[in-house]
Each structure stands twice: as C-alpha cells, then as structure tokens.
C-alpha cells in the first residue's frame, strides 16, 4: 500500500510539473495565443450568441495578441468567468487573461500581473428608498455578490451575509426580485443599472479600497511579462485606451462615469 501511494504521489508531481507556462518565444513559434476574456461583463467584455466577443477588453486583447504574434498568427479569445480566470492560467488553457483581473496579494501567490491598465472601486446598488451612508447600514442585511470578485472577498472577510449570484444581470434581477437588499460589484458594473431603472441607485460609491486591473500572466514567464508591460505603455502613449474608452464606455454610461477615474494613461504619460 505504501508503494502504491508513493507511486501515485510521484505521478501527481510529474503530472503537475508537466504543465508548463508558455513563454513569449514559444507562443510566437506556435503562431497562436489564447487570451481569456470575460463572458458576461460588458462594457469590458461579453460573448454574443454567435460566439463572438465585444467590449473594451476585447479590443485590448486583440491588439495585445497581435503584438505578441507580430501580426502573424491566430489570436484566440477564450470565454472565462470570475472563478475560472486564474485556474485556466495555471493549467495552461489560456496564455494570458485580459479579464478584469484585479491585482491582490493572494492572487500574486498564484499568478503574475502586468502593469495595470485600469482602476476601479467596488460599489453597492440598492433601491432608492434604502438610505445608506456606510457599511454599518448593511450589517444585518443580505448582499448579492459574484464569487471570485473583489467585492465578494471583501464582504466575506467582513462577515456580511453574502448571497452568490452568477453575473451582473443575474444579480440585478435577483435584487429586483427581493432576494437581497443590496448588490455589490465593481462600480463600472453598478453604474449601468440606474440608467436602465431609475428606481435603483449607487447607495455606496466606494466599498473597500481601490483596485487596479492588470493582465494576468502565468508564473515564471518574465519575458512575456516584460513584453506585455512595454505594450501597455506603448498603447497608452498611442491613445489606444482613450479611443477604446470613447468608443465603448462613453456611449454605454452616457457621461455618468468620467474616464479620469478609471484609465491610467495620464500616469504613464508623465512617468515614461
């Protein structure tokens, strides 16, 4: 029995070590890069019925993929949800993730992160009749949140009564159905719903600390990471993020969210 267990252990170790993250040269040699993007997080990214993707991060992912392949290969977009992003990076299903992935100490133990390209804070949506001014006003109430998101993690750490929901549309429908009094997620998601239904408002515009969205990169791929960092700065200087924001975010939010609070291109213009 001991020999059998030892054999199983050896096989497990060898199997785990066989999953190697692809470095830049390997990706370029196979002329294919697989990029994880969110399936239901518009205006960042969404998957249409025909399987195509659209959104702010989709345009960024395509441009980044073409830069990696020097416009000589196949950029494959792979749909992921919040819980799958890191797992798919670790097991090699995707080479990088452009999937609204916020950098955090816990996540840094599992994967690497690029220079950030976007910032956000979490917020709370509620019916306009619910008056809240701080976290303590929510303490004994149910709160909807999506597993794998920063708001979900924060609320659980603060011992709130959190109800799992699948994505932003699902959370909003369940909020309206009365399953919970509040729904927490990134402010870029929360801000859209009052435009659809003015019975709902951002009760709290900031939940926890600010977050910085980066490209998710597998561990032990320093050349790939440096290349992506350089491209983000280049794209910023070329006005790519501003154009993407003007083309996607501005029409979606109808001017309710100012780009200066989210895009980081001004910082890169000053530093580089």
Distances (CA, A) of 236 to 229, 242, 244, 255: 11, 8, 11, 21
pLDDT tens profile 162-220? 999 999 999 999 999 999 999 999 888 888 899 889 999 999 988 888 888 999 999 99
pLDDT tens profile 27-52? 999 999 999 999 998 889 999 999 99
Q: Is pLDDT above 60 for 81? A: yes
3-state SS of 127-158 is: ECCCCCCCHHHHCCCEEEECCCCHHHHHHHHC
**Dihedral, CA atoms, 234, 237, 238, 242, nearest 10 degrees?**
120
Q: Is pLDDT above 70 for 60? A: yes
The confidence score (pLDDT) of residue 240 equals 86
Q: What angle do CA 101, 257, 200 make, to 5 degrees?
A: 95
CA-CA distance, 57 to 248, in Å (whole number)? 10
CA-CA distance, 195 to 191, in Å (whole number)? 8
Q: Is pLDDT above 90 for 16? A: no
Arithmetic mean of pLDDT over the chain = 87
b/e burial code for range 166-193 (CB count within 10 A of at least 16 → b): ebbeebbebbeeeebbbbbbbbbbbbbb
| pTM, rounded to two decimals | 0.77
* Token pair listed for 63: 């441009």
Tell me the backbone φ, ψ of residue 149, rounded to 5 degrees: -95, 165
3-state secondary structure of 105: helix
């Amino acid at each position: 029995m001991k020999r059998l267990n030892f054999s199983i252990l050896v096989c497990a170790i060898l199997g785990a070590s066989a999953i190697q993250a692809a470095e830049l040269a390997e990706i370029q040699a196979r002329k294919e890069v697989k990029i994880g993007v969110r399936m239901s997080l518009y205006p960042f990214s969404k998957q249409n019925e025909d399987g195509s993707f659209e959104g702010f991060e989709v345009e960024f992912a395509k441009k980044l993929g073409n830069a990696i392949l020097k416009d000589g290969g196949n950029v494959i977009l792979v749909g992921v949800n919040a819980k799958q992003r890191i797992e798919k990076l670790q097991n090699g299903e995707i080479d990088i993730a452009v999937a609204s992935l916020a950098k955090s100490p816990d996540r840094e133990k599992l994967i690497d992160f690029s220079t950030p390209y976007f910032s956000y804070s979490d917020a709370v949506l509620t019916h306009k009749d619910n008056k809240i001014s701080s976290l303590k006003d929510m303490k004994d109430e149910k709160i909807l949140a999506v597993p794998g998101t920063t708001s979900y993690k924060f609320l659980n750490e603060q011992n709130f009564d959190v109800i799992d929901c699948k994505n932003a549309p699902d959370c909003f429908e369940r909020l309206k159905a009365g399953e919970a009094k509040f729904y927490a997620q990134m402010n870029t998601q929360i801000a859209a719903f009052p435009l659809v239904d003015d019975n709902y408002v951002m009760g709290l515009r900031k939940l926890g600390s600010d977050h910085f969205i980066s490209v998710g990169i597998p561990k032990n791929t320093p050349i790939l990471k440096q290349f992506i960092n350089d491209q983000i700065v280049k794209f910023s200087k070329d006005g790519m993020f501003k154009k993407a924001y003007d083309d996607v975010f501005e029409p979606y939010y109808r001017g309710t969210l100012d780009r200066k609070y989210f895009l980081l291109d001004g910082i890169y213009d000053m530093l580089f």
